[in-house]
Amino acid sequence: MNTSKIGHSDLAVSRINLGGNVFGWTLDEAQSFKILDAFADKGGNFIDTADVYSCWVPANTGGESETIIGKWLKTRRDKDKLVVATKVGWDFGDGVRKGLKPAYIKQAAEASLKRLQVDTIDLYYTHIDTGEVPVEEYLGAYAELIKEGKVRYIAASNVPADRLRYSLELGASGAYPLYQALQPHYNLVERTTYESEYAPIVAQYGLTVFPYWSLASGFLTGKYRSEADLGKSVRGGGVKKYLDAKGLSVLAALDEVAEKHHTSVAAAALAWLLAKPGIGAPIASATSPSQLDTLFAATALTLDAGDVQALDKASQ
């Protein structure tokens, strides 16, 4: 499988980034191991998680996804080829504000290292920046973690555009570590914020982009076409908002592109992302090996300019 380099780093990753929020949520440990094994055996090497996954499940406290990935990594001989990204800064839903205070970041990184059972976090994301902690303070905490060998590179996820730009200016000056990647909410039914606010920053600083919810939680697989379909997954409720004229027009355009290339709607939706500038790999999760096949099919599919234009138009 072809790979993509992360920013100016020496990390090369598969063009599908496996989403880890389903581990400990819609998949138990044994099912998660099956998906992780299938992903790695097919040549995937990039796994995305966060310290808080999957704290929204009633019996969970957060950390379940990292714990499962950590146990699985122990079973793999090719552990050194795998790149694991995790995140800090999101609340665990326990009523305690976590944020990005330097002391908390250090404590959270130690906890993630322990759960993942590794010495170094390959890529450490700012999960969310709500503006409470000065950028210099939390970039300083990352600098110390990098110096101690506990973090290799850093990246940004839900960081407001002005603070992202400022962070990159600080990083480019050499005084602080530099973000190498951006993880934005970006897909065929969520284009506006990324394309208007973030794409120019990505181009200016050479960030590599890993879009999350790249299948719009399953909507862009085409399996939800009416309210009656929402019961197809426990996640159905989360896609109801896309069942409108625009969402259905995107699905109609995807149907045509998928039919033309003898592929699935999901593969066509991910291939559209892969055709956009700066995209390293879409982040998508799968709950069965056959779903995983559709994610890999996207990496082998090259859309032509007409396909991309048709999808651009339907999703405007």
Ligand X SMILES: NC(=O)c1ccc[n+]([C@@H]2O[C@H](COP(=O)([O-])OP(=O)(O)OC[C@H]3O[C@@H](n4cnc5c(N)ncnc54)[C@H](OP(=O)(O)O)[C@@H]3O)[C@@H](O)[C@H]2O)c1
Q: What is the contact surface with ligand X in residues (CB under 6 A)?
A: 19-22, 26, 48, 157-158, 183, 212-218, 221, 223, 233, 235, 264, 266, 283-287, 291, 294
The phi, psi pair for 264, rounded to 5°, reads: -90, 165
Q: Kindly write down the DSSP assignment for every residue of 247-304, as one continuous string.
A: HHHHHHHHHHHHHHTT--HHHHHHHHHHTSTTB---EE--SSHHHHHHHHHHHT----
**Does residue 153 carry a catalytic annotation?**
no
- Which one of 53, 176, 186, 194 is the catalytic residue? 53
3 state DSSP class of 307:
helix
Contacts of 67 (CB under 8 A, 6+ apart): 24, 115
Tokens standing for residue 307? 């396909």
Q: Which amino acid is residue 76, in one-letter code?
A: R
Evaluate the omega torsion of the peptide bond into residue 54 and state whether it is cis, within 30 degrees of 0: yes
- List the one residue out of 104, 205, 108 whose CA is nearest residue 164: 205
**Of 37 and 144, which has the nearer Cβ to ligand X?**
37
Name which of 147 and 246 has its Cβ closer to ligand X.
246
Q: To the nearest whole angstrom, how small is the minimum distance from the Cβ of residue 114 to ligand X?
A: 20
How many Cα atoms occupy the beta-carbon half-sphere of 58 within 13 Å?
A: 0
Q: Considering the complex, state which of residue 67 and residue 183 has its C-beta at the smaller distance from ligand X.
A: 183
Q: Which residue is nearest to ligand X (CB)?
A: 19
Nearer to ligand X, 9 or 21 (CB): 21
Q: How far is the CB of 128 from ligand X (least distance, A)?
A: 7
Which residues does the annotation mark as catalytic?
A: 53
